[in-house]
Chain A
Amino acid sequence: MSTGSRKRIVKELAECHADPPPGTKVQLIDESNVHTWEILMDGPENSVYAGGHFKLNLTLPKDYPFKPPTLNFATKIYHPNVSNDGKGSMCLGMLRSDEWKPPNRLLAVVNMARSLLLEPNPDDAVEPQLADQYKNDRAEFDKTARDWVRRYAAKK
């Protein structure tokens, strides 16, 4: 199985190199280890994260693709779907083990991360307070999110 898994991962990496979402770069942290990826993602222009440069880590479990990958923001970000505990972890949609299906692609995971920057999903949040603010006090949310971009994600 491990050779099969490697074959697939290499293929997926090629897919991500060939057709990454706008402003996104995907690479292996260490060429000898196909299980840990690094994603460099620019905040989309028409979002509060515009101007930010975010680093994310994508880790593939040993049993990939039968178990979902894990995705973390290494750059601090003010976002209802990203845990604000220093780990920057995300747990929604296809990243959950009960939703993940083996044919799902990492390119889709990367795309999901980017679309969450464009539009957070407050109904499936890891940070309930941020979700609440996002829904009920959007101006304040946007202000803090932009502020965090300047403070933590400004330089490349």
Chain B
Amino acid sequence: MNMDSDEEFNSNSNVDMSSDEGFLDQDMESDVSLGDDYELEASDDEEPDIGFDTQDKDVKPRKEAYQVDFQVLSPADIQASQDEQIDEVSAILGQPPQNSAILLRYARWNKERLIEAYMDKQDEVLEAAGLGSVATEQPPRFERVPNFMCDICCEEGDQLDTFAMKCGHRFCADCYTHYLVSKITDEGEAARIKCPGDGCNRIVDSKSLDFLVPPAVKGRYRELLTRTYVDDKENLRWCPAPNCEFAVDCPVKRKELFRIVPTVMCECKHTFCFGCSLADHLPAPCVLVKKWLKKCEDDSETANWISANTKECPRCHSTIEKNGGCNHMTCRKCRHEFCWMCMGVWAEHGTSWYNCNRFEERSGAEARDAQARSRQSLERYLHYYNRYANHEQSAKLDKDIYIKTERKMTQLQSASGMSWIEVQFLEQASQALQQCRQTLKWTYAFAYYLKRNNLTEIFEDNQKDLELSVENLSEMFEKPTDQLQGKKVEIMDRTSYCNKRRIILLNDTAENLKKGVWEFNVEMTG
């Protein structure tokens, strides 16, 4: 059994500082405040001419309904906020900073709980945090002790430098240091390294550590401490991008993830979900994303055929290869125009009666027997998976074609000696395509779990509008490169239209999610 010092503490006394239930009590209040925010925004719109009051509010950049407040923290910011809290606790508890740091880490940075518990049962808290009885401040130093023998290396002698913390477990300086270095570098431990003494639970404080380990290891130690700080705080999360050192501070609580999809953007430009660290999955809530990815993994063989890059023209049956992101296909042979996703006639995509994105449930009579039902459920899944996978793949193809286009335009420019060609608009168009396809992709996972009610029609309309605007922008990239400059205004218009459609869709889904009016066909748990 590995008895964590927390558990020991919790079982010995009833001061509960690190369990989840403790945090949940506090969450109730923030739920209410969320609702208030929402009311506030709505009432702003109803009373537009109060004058100065509303003008003041307009100065701030308007937050969309799907956006959340967050702040990006650099490594220095993270260090500073730790130090600030350590100082604050030191002042209140009258403990030296290195002890306050241990206490805070022990309490998983829940300051209020720590102070409360400390005031209540000081000795128990100190004991449980590994600080033994009240520590008096004395700088760490080596000592030489008559008739000393190190219990680790078995070296003996009066001339040996030795070290011990307040607990009195004394070892030679080399062994003590070696022990700490191996804990830090090999095992990645930092906040909870115990005294090397047999059975001793005292945590090694940072002053002793600084005194004992070489400078290179100190750096690693600080890094690891910061890591546990971010891991311990519910409002902090590391940016999951490889080698990124930034963290994000966001107030959205774990239990709110059924109603909010907290999407944040790091300093490094990586956009990810604060709730689960996966890449931007708006508008689908984390729990559905998890279920969907699991399902796709389980059903990967069934769905594999879909991601094929070649299909037959539905009219003349000649083979057609998809090499751009656009799903509006024209058969080279018979000039038939169709939709790559549903293989339907493209012209019908603009009209209101045709729906590529909607899965048409067959009537009850048709789906009576079990086999028909299971077939229908597979068809339903494939309908959504097909579109999900297609947008994912199209996003990649869009990107490829953009990179090629940009290269061609640069070549064109240097070959012809033309004046500088503005390509910024192409980059913006490409970014919009990437982002909108990412959103579209997840709308299909979202829709798969959505139960039909009077709101789903609006959702499907929004989805279709975004889809069409995306395809309209995507097809611009398939134009010959030398025509693109002439299409600049059109491309810019289509770009901003795409972005607008995306915001409309996301606001609609987010507002309904916050209100809890979406109905899902699965349990919204774990």
Q: Which residues of A contact B (CB under 8 A)?
A: 1, 4-5, 7-8, 11, 63, 65-67, 96-99, 101-104, 123-124
Is the CB–CB distance between B2 and A99 below 8 Å? yes
A124/B198 contact (C-beta < 8 A), A4-B153, A7-B153, A103-B152 known? no
Is the CB–CB distance between A103 and B153 below 8 Å? no
Closest chain B residue to A66, Cβ basis: B182
Q: When chains A and B are docked, how far (Å) is the Cα of A96 from the Cα of B175?
A: 20
User: Of A67, A97, A102, which contacts B152 at CB under 8 A?
Assistant: A102
Q: Describe B's contact surface by its main secondary structure.
A: loop
Closest chain B residue to A123, Cβ basis: B1
Most buried by B among A96, A104, A124: A104
Chain A residues with Cβ below 8 Å from B198 are: 101, 103-104
Q: When chains A and B are docked, how far (Å) is the Cα of A1 from the Cα of B175?
A: 9
Closest chain B residue to A124, Cβ basis: B1
Q: When chains A and B are docked, how far (Å) is the Cα of A97 from the Cα of B179?
A: 12
Q: When chains A and B are docked, how far (Å) is the Cα of A7 from the Cα of B498?
A: 74
Is the CB–CB distance between B154 and A8 below 8 Å? yes
Chain A residues with Cβ below 8 Å from B516 are: none
Is the CB–CB distance between A7 and B151 below 8 Å? no
Is B511 in contact with chain A by the CB < 8 A criterion?
A: no
Q: A4-B154, A4-B174 are in contact. List 10 more A-B contacts (CB 8 A).
A: A1-B153, A4-B153, A65-B152, A98-B2, A101-B196, A101-B199, A102-B152, A103-B152, A103-B171, A124-B1
A95 CB to closest chain B CB (Å) equals: 12
Is the CB–CB distance between A63 and B182 below 8 Å? yes
Q: Describe A's contact surface by its main secondary structure.
A: loop
Closest chain A residue to B2, Cβ basis: A98
Q: Which residues of B contact A (CB under 8 A)?
A: 1-2, 151-155, 171, 174-175, 178-179, 182, 186-187, 194, 196-200
User: Of A63, A97, A103, A123, which contacts B151 at CB under 8 A?
Assistant: A103
Closest chain A residue to B150, Cβ basis: A4
Q: When chains A and B are docked, how far (Å) is the Cα of A104 from the Cα of B151?
A: 9
User: Of B2, B155, B178, which contacts A7 at CB under 8 A?
Assistant: B155
Most buried by B among A5, A96, A98, A101: A101
Q: When chains A and B are docked, how far (Å) is the Cα of A74 from the Cα of B1?
A: 25
Is the CB–CB distance between B178 and A1 below 8 Å? yes
B101 CB to closest chain A CB (Å) equals: 21
A102/B175 contact (C-beta < 8 A), A5-B153, A7-B154 known? yes
A93 CB to closest chain B CB (Å) equals: 8
In the complex, 22 of the A-B residue pairs with CB atoms within 8 angstroms, ordered by the A residue number, are: A1-B153, A4-B153, A4-B154, A4-B155, A63-B182, A63-B186, A66-B152, A66-B178, A66-B179, A66-B182, A67-B182, A98-B2, A101-B197, A101-B200, A102-B171, A102-B175, A102-B179, A103-B152, A103-B197, A103-B198, A104-B198, A124-B1
Chain B residues with Cβ below 8 Å from A11 are: 154
Q: When chains A and B are docked, how far (Å) is the Cα of A103 from the Cα of B197?
A: 7
Chain B residues with Cβ below 8 Å from A123 are: 1
Chain A residues with Cβ below 8 Å from B1 are: 123-124
Chain B residues with Cβ below 8 Å from A4 are: 153-155, 174-175
Is the CB–CB distance between A97 and B187 below 8 Å? yes
Is the CB–CB distance between A1 and B174 below 8 Å? yes
Chain B residues with Cβ below 8 Å from A7 are: 153-155
Pairs A-B, 3 closest by C-beta atoms: A4-B153, A103-B151, A8-B154
B18 CB to closest chain A CB (Å) equals: 18
Chain A residues with Cβ below 8 Å from B199 are: 101
B197 CB to closest chain A CB (Å) equals: 7
Closest chain A residue to B151, Cβ basis: A103
Chain A residues with Cβ below 8 Å from B197 are: 101, 103
Q: When chains A and B are docked, how far (Å) is the Cα of A67 from the Cα of B186?
A: 10
Is the CB–CB distance between B152 and A8 below 8 Å? yes
B453 CB to closest chain A CB (Å) equals: 46
Q: When chains A and B are docked, how far (Å) is the Cα of A23 from the Cα of B187?
A: 37
Closest chain A residue to B176, Cβ basis: A102
Closest chain A residue to B187, Cβ basis: A97
Is the CB–CB distance between B153 and A8 below 8 Å? yes
Q: When chains A and B are docked, how far (Å) is the Cα of A123 from the Cα of B474?
A: 60
A120 CB to closest chain B CB (Å) equals: 14
Q: When chains A and B are docked, how far (Å) is the Cα of A96 from the Cα of B4?
A: 14
Q: When chains A and B are docked, how far (Å) is the Cα of A5 from the Cα of B154?
A: 8
B39 CB to closest chain A CB (Å) equals: 50
A100 CB to closest chain B CB (Å) equals: 10
A33 CB to closest chain B CB (Å) equals: 19
Q: When chains A and B are docked, how far (Å) is the Cα of A123 from the Cα of B2?
A: 11
Q: When chains A and B are docked, how far (Å) is the Cα of A16 from the Cα of B474?
A: 77
A30 CB to closest chain B CB (Å) equals: 22
Q: When chains A and B are docked, how far (Å) is the Cα of A98 from the Cα of B200?
A: 13
